[in-house]
Structure 1
Amino acid sequence: MDRERSHFVQLNGLRFHYLTWGASSAPLLICLHGLRSYGRTFAGLAEMLADRFHVLALDQRGRGETEWDPEQNYFATNYADDLGALIDHLGVEKAHLLGHSMGGINALTYALDHAQRFASLILEDSGPEAADGDSAGIGRILNELRTTPLSFDGYDAARAFWRSIRPNVTEEAIASRVANSMKEVDGKVVWRHDQLGIGKCRIEQAETRPNPDLWPAVEKLACPTLVLRGANSDYLDPARVERMCAVNPLVTAKEIEGAGHYVHDDNPVDFNAAVAEFLDCVEASGKSKD
């Protein structure tokens, strides 16, 4: 098992945290988590890929060990600017990108002007309009943001809350969420992420400030792109996936059985296998052209 390494860097006025696995000389894969998640959610995938990829999992602004934004700017354009600043800091021309849900939206937002920086793109249950529609998944997420408690009396209560809103994820995923998204302060268990600020911006986004139009980003993609949809997803509908594949011939799609919106937490075995197969094929194709 490759040793997880922790890093901090100043980007866009905030202190960011990210984790890496694998040799820095290997092809780079940057992983972007979802709305209320954290970089370490991709640890299982990273450990599997670390023998041949340099995997970097970012705690996006306001999450994990990254600073909260005092101005509460938690919108797609801010996240995309952070991604660009990170890529510039790393000094790489191109990177493989993987984004779950909000992370995929952020990657596509960055691709509107910087699609040439992607060696490949993996969208985990994410795509244009997915965060701005009227799907059951959007309603579920917004309801969670409006009703989530800001604190709990203990870790048992926090664990029970996570299980109540994520009934299908593995026990390992619940343990990871409790350990990485929560902390104890003054006898209460509270969120590591900026629950109030993130919720405010997400609700505002749904009501008055939608994401940029990301269909042009899909059209601009000049790299192999894989959409991994949870077969039971309430968030990304099959018609949208079909349109993404039709808009750009470089986009392909695969459904992961036994998974909903949280694909890598619902069925990590099949998710990890699909990501590894795709990345290995992209790298093998690139080397055959050299």
Structure 2
Amino acid sequence: MTLSADEYRDHLETTAVRAGFAFGGVVLPSEHDVSVGKLRFRYLDWGTKGQRPILFLHGGALTAHTWDLCCLALRDEFHCIALDQRGHGDSDWAPDADYSIGAQREDIRGFADRLGLDRFVLVGQSMGAINGLAFAAARPERLSALVMIDAGPEVRRRGSSRIREFVNGGAKPETLEEIIERALAFNPRRDRQILRRSLMHNLRRQPDGSWSWKYDRRRFQPLDHDTHLAERRRLADNLANVTCPVLVVRGAESDVFHQEDAERLAKNFPHGRQIIIEQAGHTVQGDNPKDLVAALREFLG
């Protein structure tokens, strides 16, 4: 990470207070690498092994750190693990640019096997939710519950196009201020000073002093995007395979995942429920982590 341990702890304390959490103390996660197939994956372990495990999967262009406040809030009750998925954060990029749902589904299987997670809860947002759904449909016996945040087989083109424009923007290295301005224009719900520090987990500093994002842009190319959408729609035929309880979460202000799509998705699972998180857009865990944590606690019992 670019932040020092002290800066990271201070950042978590500040963001926790702003989000409405009251923690007795901030415990930092441990960082680990594990090889799955030919790729090396970075993950954050928030401790409390022996508790019910939750695997958190971030959305496209994000990293495991998007779950920091959720994991910090839940770490006393669950064994929280957040993964940098292939092509993101400090995990390897796929040398063949294979970012298919099938490849990422197998990453989840291999990662869970390496960590000895025989049965666990999977929480995913956007891309992470779709990868989690693919895993749940293929290996339903491995999950005790699935939480899908602001994503489903159907996608609204306007909202998804806006996201693609943002992640494909800034192809050339940028100054930190340029990145902050673009990020605030994309999501004005965020606080500038908090955003400045949280972006440190998503950026690499180049030798010339400019900054670049920690994700493989090939993941977001138009041809791959169309293939990805076709894969997503095929998942709709396998919803009945998901036998565990499923919570479908939608950000009330999301332009990516509409309410009728969320309701339809939840109804098509054998054991599905749907909720709305107010004061949140597509990135629910960043916009309103406190209400999301409350919903997770209630759902997971």
Same fold (TM over 0.5): yes
Alignment check: 8 A CA contact 1:229 1:254 kept: yes
Cα displacement string for residues 88-113 of structure 1 (whole angstroms, at most 9, x for unaligned residues) = 11122211000000000001111221
Equivalent residue number for residue 66 of structure 1: 91
1:198, 1:208 → 2: CA distance? 11
- Alpha-carbon RMSD: 1.7
Cα displacement string for residues 79-138 of structure 1 (whole angstroms, at most 9, x for unaligned residues) = 1110010111112221100000000000111122112211101111011223xx53x211
1:181 aligns with 2:202: yes
Instruction: Tell me how many residue pairs correspond in the alignment.
Output: 273
Partner SS for 2:31:
strand
2:78, 2:172 → 1: CA distance? 38
1:271, 1:218 → 2: CA distance? 24
Give the drift of 1:236: 0.9
Cα displacement string for residues 256-290 of structure 1 (whole angstroms, at most 9, x for unaligned residues) = 111111111111221121122222x1xxxxxxxxx
Alignment check: 8 A CA contact 1:115 1:217 kept: no
Aligned pairs for 1:265-284 (under 5 A) are 265-279=286-300, 281=301
Determine which of 225, 228, 233 is the counterpart of 1:206.
225
1:27 aligns with 2:27: no
Partner SS for 1:104:
helix
Equivalent residue number for residue 191 of structure 1: 213
Aligned pairs for 1:237-248 (under 5 A) are 237-248=258-269
Give the drift of 1:237: 1.3
Alignment check: 8 A CA contact 1:155 1:178 kept: no
Cα displacement string for residues 158-183 of structure 1 (whole angstroms, at most 9, x for unaligned residues) = 22221122222344762354111112
Aligned pairs for 1:18-167 (under 5 A) are 18-130=43-155, 133-134=156-157, 136-152=158-174, 154-167=175-188
2:140, 2:152 → 1: CA distance? 15
Determine which of 19, 35, 39 is the counterpart of 1:14.
39
Give the drift of 1:157: 2.0
Cα displacement string for residues 244-266 of structure 1 (whole angstroms, at most 9, x for unaligned residues) = 22222411011011111111111
What runs of 5+ residues in structure 1 fail to find an aligned partner? Answer: 282-290
Give the drift of 1:52: 1.4
Give the drift of 1:234: 0.6
Taking every aligned residue pair, what percent have the same amino acid on both sides?
A: 30
Partner SS for 1:121:
strand
Alignment check: 8 A CA contact 2:136 2:146 kept: no
Q: TM-score, normalising length from structure 2?
A: 0.85
Alignment check: 8 A CA contact 1:169 1:262 kept: no
1:71, 1:42 → 2: CA distance? 28
1:59, 1:199 → 2: CA distance? 17
1:91, 1:172 → 2: CA distance? 39
Alignment check: 8 A CA contact 1:100 1:123 kept: yes
Cα displacement string for residues 133-167 of structure 1 (whole angstroms, at most 9, x for unaligned residues) = 53x21121232244333311x32222222112222
Equivalent residue number for residue 285 of structure 1: none
